[in-house]
Structure 1
Amino acid sequence: MDQSTFVLSNGNAASSQTTAGDGYDSDGAYFVPPTPSRLSASLPPELAGAIPLLDKFQDPIPTSLLKINGDLVSRSVKIFEMILKYMGVDSSEKLSLLGLDERVDLVTKLYKQTLKSSDLRDELFCTALKQTRNNPDGSFLIKAWELMYLCASSIPPNKDIGAYLSEYVHNVAYGINTDPDVQNLALNALNALKRSVKSGPRLTIPAREEIEALLSSKKLTTIVFFLDETFEEITYDMTTTVADAVQELASIIKLTTYSSFSLFECRKVVQGSKTPDVGTEEFIALDDNKYIGDLLSEFKAAKERSKGEILHCKLTFKKRLFRESDEAVADPMFIQLSYVQLQHDYVLGNYPVGRDDAAQLSALQILAEIGFVDNPDSCIEWISLLERFLPRQIAITRAKRDWELDILSRYNLMVRPK
């Protein structure tokens, strides 16, 4: 991650690509090197009126810092009260540090209040900024920056506030005289801000374990499947997107050419069956900017909503499309994954073939599976191999014994050619 930040001296920005809601830039194009002299000049008009309150970090606020809809003003005041409580400032202005569980509860409440409201997200950032600005108490200051990091990881501000905020955070993160603990949190907040501005706000409230992991500087793990039902474990946090997960997975499996691969949501509904293999799979392409945490939350919610059905949801790694240029790729893992996907799609009947081709392809797949063996029809798995490698749509066009003899003959010819 580079050390740039984004600056909008006039509150506007040109973007070459926008995929997330609320005008968030998918390429982060408005991150440019900061000029400290522009910090005050870039202060948006919405925040300028709150300057007298910015340095009074322990005083309650009678109204919102920003000019917002009247219905949201009371919620803004409550948000600031929660921020004071998170920092450990109680009503008597005494130090009252909270445990991890209490902090997670407060952060969850803040997310619930602000996630769906861009106005309240801006207000939250301004109040968090207020608590970090010229705060003389070291313990309060750490908590304020911790909160800034949590906010930046999931609920980015709009561009007007974000321009000033990111420049402010950048100056603290790379300040010469900044306290090391504050500097580390500010740098984390800056990097999180760049990521969330690129991908937009989370669609679901981050799970409790996500908040705990971020506060503990840990990573969570989840499973990504391949089409042959093998899988790999990947790490994620509150800011991890599909694009991040693809890059990590490609590194784990040593796939060097992965631009045509992505993650898909795989759903399989099993109605009244105890066998998970019975059911129709649906693969849903995922946007690169989709958050892994949102996906896992949606999987859980979908399972809870399914009534009278067994719904299997999982992340699957596969190619988005096949291209002519694929033939020139020599990457062994690329070739293996392409073969597995073609095999998977063929067995599902996605590539219609005649009887001769179906028998020949089945024999080839069995050969690839078990190698060269004498009397393969005496193997325990012979019948299951026939069923596995012969598409159901074409299998019903011929007697089972006829298929077996034809495929066996073709297999033996490949093993012992004339």
Structure 2
Amino acid sequence: PFQSLLFLTKATIQESLISLRNKKTSRRAVESFQVLMQFMGDQPKPRGKDEIELLYELLKLCREKENLRDEIYCQAIKQVTGHPRLEFCARGWSFLSLLTGFLPPSTTLMPYVTQFLQDAGRSQELARSSQKHLQQTVKYGGRRRLPPPGEMKAFLKGKMLRLLLVHLPGGVGYKTNVGTFTVAAEVLEELCGKMGITEPEEVQEFALFLIQGEGELARPLRPQEYLNNVLVDPKTSLHSRRLGWETRLHFDNPTYISTHYSQVQRDYLQGKLLVGAQADAQVARLAALQLVSRTQEAPPSERDLLAYLPRLLQGQVNVAAIQSLMDQELRQLQGCSAQEAQIGFIEAASQLPLFGYTVYVVLRASDLTLPRPSLLGLNRQHLILMDPSSQTLCCSIALRDLQQLHLLSPLEAGRPPALELNYGSADSPQTIWFELPQARELQYTIAFLLNSS
């Protein structure tokens, strides 16, 4: 019985604590117990091995030999129970705290481990952290990849948290502390909490994007990904943005308003929210709302006004006509606060054809009848292609109809890669490819949306 195991042993065990049918596995169990005692300090370390190497040995054994996992859980619990040396006992608890964050015990042992941690947690802080780590492992699957030695050393010294910078739209940085077992979902929940977002359906509409270098690779992190597993390269950075727009927008929090405004404004200025060259009044209103959002008193010159227009429109519109219309809009907006102008901008932009989509510029497609270039819009339901000149919908594919995605190497020297989509039914299979610089990001984002819907 489990309770009979909870007695400290000062000597190495001669057989496994739980019944193991395989003699070789039982022998490995005896060896692992000796490694645990060496790590805790109850026995001298082997020559040439330090505590980190011993720790790796134990964790690798648990990861590679599933039939030894319960045994090593029992061994750790046995050695922290009633240990007279606080320093050695703390080392045992450190190991248990790490183990619970990586791999859970079997469903048979789980109730006993949970009860043990609850009882010990009344007086032992590391027992409480072990309990939290185990709950995370059950919820998110455990951190399978072992941390680098530097992180392991910091953990043993009690330095479990580190500062993380998340880049928000508009160039705003958000700082938070992440631990050894923090997952993307926890940081997203925290970020959304700052924006007053508490409903799980709306939280799920946001994603953390991992960006390498100067944007060579951007991919959304799955909610259950452990951040310390992916943030190993100093050239990587985390960026947050909204991917889904199905939940009704609510402007009841200043951080919510400014974050959404920055994302929508960036997409608008990059030409990802279609607005026609003939829509002078619409463009003038959006320019005026941007001006008031910046609390800029004096109207801009014709040259400065271009900064408030989408890049693609700058050479196509009559700037003098737009400035005249904008002056009228500014008179109507007198007394409007910067925050009210930001809300007004989001509401006006929400009427544009590609609002609510993540937009990519496609240079060409396998279907030669499609315009070149065209805008590809992606949301949780559809992938669509639009002609940026006529704003005509040229192609629509339901994500549920996608069968496979293939990243294709550049079709010609000097060209970007392409993404091939296989979709449709078994009776009527169809294939199309799109050539675009962000082909890999598009592949990752489609996969993310499929898995989260």
Under TM normalisation by the shorter chain, which class is it?
Answer: 0.5 to 0.7
Contact kept, 8 Å, 1:261 with 1:320, in 2: the verdict is no
Q: Partners in 1 of 2:294 and 2:257 — Cα distance?
A: 19
Q: What's the offset of the Cα at 1:235?
A: 0.2
Give me the TM-score of the superposition, normalised by structure 2. Answer: 0.60
Contact kept, 8 Å, 1:68 with 1:119, in 2: the verdict is no
Contact kept, 8 Å, 1:115 with 1:205, in 2: the verdict is no
Structure 1 residues 314 and 71, CA gap change in structure 2 (3 angstroms) = farther
Q: Partners in 2 of 1:236 and 1:226 — Cα distance?
A: 17
Q: What's the offset of the Cα at 1:372?
A: 4.1
Q: Partners in 2 of 1:114 and 1:367 — Cα distance?
A: 60
Q: What's the offset of the Cα at 1:231?
A: 1.0
Structure 1 residues 173 and 377, CA gap change in structure 2 (3 angstroms) = same
Q: Partners in 2 of 1:83 and 1:368 — Cα distance?
A: 65
Contact kept, 8 Å, 1:57 with 1:135, in 2: the verdict is no
Residue 220 of structure 2 aligns with which residue? 284
Q: What's the offset of the Cα at 1:224?
A: 0.6
Q: Secondary structure at the match of 1:239?
A: coil
Q: Partners in 1 of 2:137 and 2:105 — Cα distance?
A: 9
1:149 paired to 2:97? yes
1:294 paired to 2:229? yes
1:255 paired to 2:195? yes
Structure 1 residues 236 and 323, CA gap change in structure 2 (3 angstroms) = same
Q: What's the offset of the Cα at 1:371?
A: 4.1
Give CA deviations for 1:304-334 in whole Å, capped at 9, x if unaligned: xxxxxxxx6432223342245324x422222
The one-letter code of the counterpart of 1:293 is N
The one-letter code of the counterpart of 1:316 is H
Q: Secondary structure at the match of 1:317?
A: strand
Match of 1:208 among 149, 173, 192: 149
Q: Secondary structure at the match of 1:315?
A: strand
Q: Partners in 1 of 2:23 and 2:318 — Cα distance?
A: 75
Higher strand residue share: 2
Residue 316 of structure 1 aligns with which residue? 239
Residue 77 of structure 2 aligns with which residue? 129
Structure 1 residues 350 and 76, CA gap change in structure 2 (3 angstroms) = farther
Residue 411 of structure 1 aligns with which residue? 326
Contact kept, 8 Å, 1:360 with 1:410, in 2: the verdict is yes
Match of 2:165 among 216, 223, 227: 223
Match of 2:115 among 142, 145, 167: 167
The one-letter code of the counterpart of 2:170 is D
Contact kept, 8 Å, 2:284 with 2:329, in 1: the verdict is no
Q: Partners in 2 of 1:208 and 1:163 — Cα distance?
A: 32
Percent identical residues: 20
Residue 245 of structure 1 aligns with which residue? 187
Q: Secondary structure at the match of 1:153?
A: helix
Structure 1 residues 217 and 228, CA gap change in structure 2 (3 angstroms) = same
Contact kept, 8 Å, 1:115 with 1:201, in 2: the verdict is no
Give CA deviations for 1:249-285 in whole Å, capped at 9, x if unaligned: 355xx42224424663435578xxxxx4xx6774525
Q: Secondary structure at the match of 1:264?
A: strand
Structure 1 residues 197 and 354, CA gap change in structure 2 (3 angstroms) = same
Structure 1 residues 250 and 104, CA gap change in structure 2 (3 angstroms) = farther
The one-letter code of the counterpart of 2:111 is A
**Larger RCO: 1 or 2 (CA < 8 Å, sep 6+):** 1
Within 5 Å, give how 1:304-343 maps onto structure 2.
313-323=236-246, 325-327=248-250, 329-343=251-265
Q: What's the offset of the Cα at 1:202?
A: 0.3
Contact kept, 8 Å, 2:212 with 2:237, in 1: the verdict is no
Structure 1 residues 233 and 261, CA gap change in structure 2 (3 angstroms) = same
Structure 1 residues 64 and 332, CA gap change in structure 2 (3 angstroms) = same
Structure 1 residues 261 and 410, CA gap change in structure 2 (3 angstroms) = farther
1:363 paired to 2:293? no
The one-letter code of the counterpart of 1:222 is L
Deviates more, 1:190-199 or 1:351-360: 351-360
Contact kept, 8 Å, 2:101 with 2:133, in 1: the verdict is yes
Q: What's the offset of the Cα at 1:391?
A: 4.4
Q: What's the offset of the Cα at 1:226?
A: 0.6
Q: Partners in 2 of 1:52 and 1:269 — Cα distance?
A: 49
The one-letter code of the counterpart of 1:148 is L
Q: What's the offset of the Cα at 1:152?
A: 1.7
Structure 1 residues 249 and 205, CA gap change in structure 2 (3 angstroms) = same
Contact kept, 8 Å, 1:154 with 1:202, in 2: the verdict is yes
1:232 paired to 2:166? no
Structure 1 residues 400 and 138, CA gap change in structure 2 (3 angstroms) = closer
Contact kept, 8 Å, 2:70 with 2:106, in 1: the verdict is yes
Q: What's the offset of the Cα at 1:211?
A: 2.9
Unaligned runs of 5+ in 2: 333-453
Residue 83 of structure 1 aligns with which residue? 36
Contact kept, 8 Å, 1:261 with 1:317, in 2: the verdict is no
